[in-house]
Chains A and B, each alone.
Chain A
Amino acid sequence: MSTQRPERLELLQGTLDLLILRTLIFGREHGQGISRAILQTSDNELLVEHGALYPALQRLEARGWIAAEWGTSTNNRKARFYTLTKAGRKQLVQETTQWRRIATAIGRVLGPESEES
């Protein structure tokens, strides 16, 4: 998409859900805030495509992992805020563990970092 700058990493499929859940662990947040938070915490490496973000939020809400309500932002704008539910918290733990295992495994397969350029 036009907004994606080439130097940034593309999100692996399925990781967006995990990142959203992780971001919400610090408290309620709206869509724009989630997208900023992911960008910032990833040292500007991960840019969330908005075309994917909102359907993902929709999906997580439908599964009951996050809940949503309209509220007011710090600069007094009306926004839709998302919070993590109990089920979402459980799901986060599960997915985090799984992701760590995958990352480690892939790391092992790829070998020590020094061999890469």
Chain B
Amino acid sequence: MRNLDDFREEIRAHVELEADRLREQGLSLEQARAAARRSFGNVAAVEERYYESRRWVWLDLLAQNLRFGLRMLRRNPGSSLVAVLTLALGIGANTAIFSLLNGLMLRHLPVRHPEELVLFGKGEWGGSANVLPNRNWQLFSYPGYRDFQRKNKVFSDVAAIDSILFTTHGRVASAENLEKVSVELVSGTFFQTLGVNAAIGRTLTDADDVHPGAHPIAVANYAWWKRRLGKAPSVLGTPVTIGKTTYSIVGVTPPQFFGAIVGQSPDLWIPLSMEKEVSPGWNGLDQDLFQSLYLFARREPGVSIRQASANVNVIFQQMVRAYAGTEASPKVLESISHAHVELTPAATGLARFRRQLAAPLVILMSMVALVLIIACANVANLLLARSASRQREIAVRMSIGAGRPRLIQQLLIESGLLGLAGAALSAPVAWVLLRLLLSMKSAPPALRVEPDWRVLVFALAITLLTVLLFGTVPAFRATRLDLPGSLRAGRSVTGGPDRNRLARGLIVGQVALSLAVLTGAGLLLHNLINLRNVDTGFDKRNVLLTGVDPAGAGYHEDVRLENMMESVEERVDALPGIYGAAFALSVFDGGGWTDSIVVPGQPPLQQDVTHNIVGTHYLEAMSMPLILGRYLTARDDHDSQKVAVINETLARTYFPGMSPVGRTFSIGMQPDWQGLQVVGVVRDAKYMGLQEKQQPAAFYPHAQHWSIVGNFAVRLSGDPKLAIPAIRKAIADVDPNLPVADFTTLEEVVNRSLASPRLVAELSSAFGALAALLASIGIYGVMSYAIVRRTNEFGVRMALGARRGDVQWMVLRETLRLVLVGVGAGLMLALILNRLMTSILFGLGPADPLAIGAAAALMIAVAILAGWIPARRATRIDPTVALRYE
């Protein structure tokens, strides 16, 4: 690019050449020079035009505007700071919640062509389904997986992954003690289907998944390799002993790969062929109906989901009909004809809890979006007021020739600076909020929330959007003025009715949006209170819980396991201050086994029953009151009649109008679970969470069903913490190798189960408070400004005899009118938005009068307070001063 000097030189040459020509025509040197200069015209103007034609001129102007903008912001440090903080809170909250949503729902797996992956079903079930498929199916058996793999014509590969993450205990290398190891059982095709290569060594192949029990190898997760082995380069061949099998590590996954299930990151991946070795109580590789696997596949290029789905469903129907056998009754055939598989895109990975976690996030996201809009309205109001007070400056600049675009650019740059400062400050806000959200109990431990391009684009986009939202209108308004009027008047013309209407409109909007947020928060708080007061059906006080891992210690489901469990229960029971000790398959909020039951002579009901396998004194330890019959006793052993204690709901549902005691039922087809005789009925309780609907439930003694269980519960008197060492010792006396986890109290478990609703309620209350605060700042600002403008009028009124109360009421009435209009609009908005919440509400409708009433009352109170302060100031006006005011 040429510089300006070079250009000046050219102009000078031009003028000299012209002068030379004129001299040839006979003019004197002086005359020729003057004429040449005259004929050229305004040199400075030409130079300016040249300057403006240069490409980087806008950058110069931008730099000028930036410097000027910074100066203007510094001149009003107070209001600038309020604006920046407001924006930082708004943008930060939005970014934090969006990061979570992104990690949970949008982010693609770091694998080859993730868009080609499909999941069989929605992946929302977990555990094992042991019945013939009869609807939209989600879990599949190992033989089913092999069938799909062999027969399909649409996939380049099919892979299986156990729907359960096995948290077991093992010995790593030559370590002394057992330690916790989480294992995902996967088919040999798992890594190939995903397209994930090992960072070190190799991944699994189909050849590692052929003969049950014959492939003791494992692939280590990069995170585990780093955490547990300190990235030792000699990782290959490291032995890990789980139960009685020693697995050899053959490879490490790349660092960015967390696994295929969002939020779940195992330490080791082990071939499914080792299922029985890893989990003695949970296996059935050869059973058609042990359906516990998620299946996913990679589509061949060019195969649409619809084509793939058609092919898969043909195979699935053949498969299910073969399972039903040739002698299936017409009713069974009818039922299995409804079995089908819905293929869903799996680019974002599998996420069993995606829907459950997404609901509160979507609610919070909507709330923070509203808060951001309120914040924008506030900043817009601030800028309006500021540009009103700068009207003279702007008028002067325009009258001496500043172009309107240049001024608008200038004002927008000031807004942009506010926005940028807000965005910069929003990063720490977002970080803190994100940590807080991730501490949610229900937050998956391994969610990838570190910012990716989506989060960055999102943050930039909302910053830009906010700048446009709060900056544009004030900028256009400020530069559209009646020049002579603005120059003449000191301040009386500033603003004007137009500005006023806009400011009032902003207030109505702010109140409406704040009310919507407050109502949502009120609803969630009310919901939390309801959950806290839920009758659990058991006595949560004075109970200790811990986890045990018999499988990790090498137990199988046989008499040795049963003997160990009975000895542990006896020994702990015998300790002083202990009123009941029992193993249990599941305890409160720890998941559970659900399955349907069959009562002889009755048509099967489409309702799952929650089953639990427990120690003899479990029901007493939990204080679930007996209503009918008897509790389990030590006489219910392996050789006696198989028994069950059921709850009221099961009694009512399956044995209506009769005494259930003495009646029998069965579960599935396994011989162990036929002819179970009801011996007692206990009160209903909550089993898997406080929000669950009342479930039918039944309890069975482990003495009759030797099975691996993972929980141990103890009721005691006195300080539970003091009893822990004695209990540990009693267990170790029976088997020093049995891994025992940390102890917690049942009360803690119940409270922790509310952590997520509590956090959502607290956060939404914080957002609601923020919204109300911002709205009241807006009201305060607009009303103060209106009163300053009307000082003269108030002076006249008071001089003519108006009392202070009259003036105060006049001002307040105006505020009240705006607020009531806002509240009205807000109520309608709230009723619409609250529908989002119905899925997470417990026994509350979206139109909860308590929440709505409280929110409206709070909003009105806050608004009146914000309007009252300036109103009071209006009454302090001294008429003589006011009349002289302008």
Task: State the CA gap A97–B14 with chains docked (Å).
Answer: 31
Given A1-B41, A54-B7, also A77-B17 (CB < 8 A): yes
> Is the CB–CB distance between A80 and B50 below 8 Å?
no
Q: Which residues of A contact B10 (CB under 8 A)?
A: 31, 54, 79-80
> Is the CB–CB distance between A50 and B14 below 8 Å?
yes
Name the CB-closest residue of B to A59.
Answer: B53
B496 nearest CB across to chain A (Å): 40
Q: Which residues of A contact B17 (CB under 8 A)?
A: 30, 32-33, 73, 75, 77, 79
Q: Which residues of B contact A73 (CB under 8 A)?
A: 13, 17
Q: Which residues of B contact A36 (CB under 8 A)?
A: 21
Given A32-B18, A51-B46, also A77-B41 (CB < 8 A): no
Task: State the CA gap A50–B39 with chains docked (Å).
Answer: 9
> Is the CB–CB distance between B41 and A51 below 8 Å?
yes
B629 nearest CB across to chain A (Å): 98
Name the CB-closest residue of B to A4.
Answer: B41
> Is the CB–CB distance between B49 and A55 below 8 Å?
yes
Given A32-B13, A79-B17, A80-B13, also A54-B46 (CB < 8 A): yes
Given A2-B41, A54-B46, A58-B50, also A30-B20 (CB < 8 A): no
Does A114 belong to the interface (CB within 8 Å)?
no
> Is the CB–CB distance between A78 and B11 below 8 Å?
no
Does B58 belong to the interface (CB within 8 Å)?
no
Does B38 belong to the interface (CB within 8 Å)?
yes
Name the CB-closest residue of A to B12.
Answer: A78
Does A13 belong to the interface (CB within 8 Å)?
no
Q: Which residues of A contact B634 (CB under 8 A)?
A: none
Task: State the CA gap A65–B243 with chains docked (Å).
Answer: 83
Q: Which residues of A contact B41 (CB under 8 A)?
A: 1-3, 49-51
> Is the CB–CB distance between B21 and A50 below 8 Å?
no
Q: Which residues of A contact B45 (CB under 8 A)?
A: 51
Given A31-B14, A32-B13, A78-B13, also A51-B49 (CB < 8 A): yes
Does B593 belong to the interface (CB within 8 Å)?
no
* Binary contact readout B800-842 vs A (1 if CB under 8 angstroms, 0 otherwise): 0000000000000000000000000000000000000000000
Name the CB-closest residue of A to B51.
Answer: A55
The dominant DSSP class at the B interface is helix
Given A51-B49, A54-B50, A58-B53, also A30-B13 (CB < 8 A): yes
A77 nearest CB across to chain B (Å): 6
Task: State the CA gap A32–B39 with chains docked (Å).
Answer: 11
Task: State the CA gap A33–B16 with chains docked (Å).
Answer: 12
Q: Which residues of A contact B16 (CB under 8 A)?
A: 77
* Binary contact readout A64-102 vs B (1 if CB under 8 angstroms, 0 otherwise): 000000000101011110000000000000000000000
In chain B, positions 22-59 with a C-beta closer than 8 Å to chain A are 38-42, 45-46, 49-50, 53
Within the complex, which residue of A51, A55, A77 is in contact with B20, where a contact is CB–CB below 8 Å? A77
Q: Which residues of A contact B11 (CB under 8 A)?
A: 54
Q: Which residues of B contact A55 (CB under 8 A)?
A: 46, 49-50, 53
Task: State the CA gap A59–B2 with chains docked (Å).
Answer: 12
Task: State the CA gap A66–B53 with chains docked (Å).
Answer: 17
Q: Which residues of B contact A51 (CB under 8 A)?
A: 41-42, 45-46, 49
Name the CB-closest residue of A to B2.
Answer: A58
A7 nearest CB across to chain B (Å): 16
Name the CB-closest residue of B to A33.
Answer: B17
> Is the CB–CB distance between A3 and B40 below 8 Å?
yes
B41 nearest CB across to chain A (Å): 5
Chain B interface size band reads 20 to 34
Task: State the CA gap A49–B40 with chains docked (Å).
Answer: 8
Task: State the CA gap A51–B41 with chains docked (Å).
Answer: 8
> Is the CB–CB distance between A77 and B39 below 8 Å?
no
> Is the CB–CB distance between B13 and A77 below 8 Å?
yes
B337 nearest CB across to chain A (Å): 73
Q: Which residues of A contact B42 (CB under 8 A)?
A: 1, 51
Most buried by B among A3, A31, A50, A78: A50
Task: State the CA gap A2–B7 with chains docked (Å).
Answer: 22
Q: Which residues of B contact A3 (CB under 8 A)?
A: 38-41
Q: Which residues of A contact B53 (CB under 8 A)?
A: 55, 58-59
Given A3-B40, A50-B41, also A32-B14 (CB < 8 A): yes
Q: Which residues of A contact B40 (CB under 8 A)?
A: 3, 50
A96 nearest CB across to chain B (Å): 25
Name the CB-closest residue of A to B24.
Answer: A75
Task: State the CA gap A16–B429 with chains docked (Å).
Answer: 58
Task: State the CA gap A54–B45 with chains docked (Å).
Answer: 11
Task: State the CA gap A77–B10 with chains docked (Å).
Answer: 11
B46 nearest CB across to chain A (Å): 5
Task: State the CA gap A78–B2 with chains docked (Å).
Answer: 17
Q: Which residues of B contact A49 (CB under 8 A)?
A: 41
Q: Which residues of B contact A33 (CB under 8 A)?
A: 17
Q: Which residues of A contact B13 (CB under 8 A)?
A: 30-32, 73, 77-80
Q: Which residues of B contact A59 (CB under 8 A)?
A: 53
Name the CB-closest residue of A to B14.
Answer: A32
Task: State the CA gap A55–B53 with chains docked (Å).
Answer: 7
Name the CB-closest residue of B to A78.
Answer: B13
Most buried by B among A2, A30, A35, A80: A80
B1 nearest CB across to chain A (Å): 9
* Binary contact readout A14-56 vs B (1 if CB under 8 angstroms, 0 otherwise): 0000000000000000111101100000000000011100110
Q: Which residues of A contact B2 (CB under 8 A)?
A: 58
Task: State the CA gap A80–B49 with chains docked (Å).
Answer: 18
Name the CB-closest residue of A to B23.
Answer: A75
Task: State the CA gap A54–B47 with chains docked (Å).
Answer: 9
Q: Which residues of B contact A32 (CB under 8 A)?
A: 13-14, 17-18, 21
> Is the CB–CB distance between A30 and B14 below 8 Å?
yes
Q: Which residues of B contact A80 (CB under 8 A)?
A: 9-10, 13
Task: State the CA gap A17–B9 with chains docked (Å).
Answer: 22
Q: Which residues of A contact B9 (CB under 8 A)?
A: 78, 80
Task: State the CA gap A71–B7 with chains docked (Å).
Answer: 14
A46 nearest CB across to chain B (Å): 15
Name the CB-closest residue of A to B21.
Answer: A36
Q: Which residues of A contact B49 (CB under 8 A)?
A: 51, 54-55
- What residues make up the interface of B, taking CB atoms closer than 8 Å to A? 2, 7, 9-11, 13-14, 16-18, 20-21, 38-42, 45-46, 49-50, 53
> Can you list 7 residue pairs at the A/B interface with Cβ under 8 Å?
A1-B42, A54-B10, A55-B50, A75-B17, A79-B14, A79-B17, A80-B10
Known contacts A51-B46, A79-B10; can you find 18 more A-B pairs with CB under 8 A?
A2-B38, A2-B41, A31-B14, A32-B13, A32-B17, A50-B46, A54-B10, A54-B11, A54-B46, A54-B49, A55-B46, A55-B53, A58-B50, A58-B53, A75-B17, A78-B9, A79-B13, A79-B17
Interface pairs A-B: 3 shortest CB-CB: A32-B17, A32-B14, A79-B13
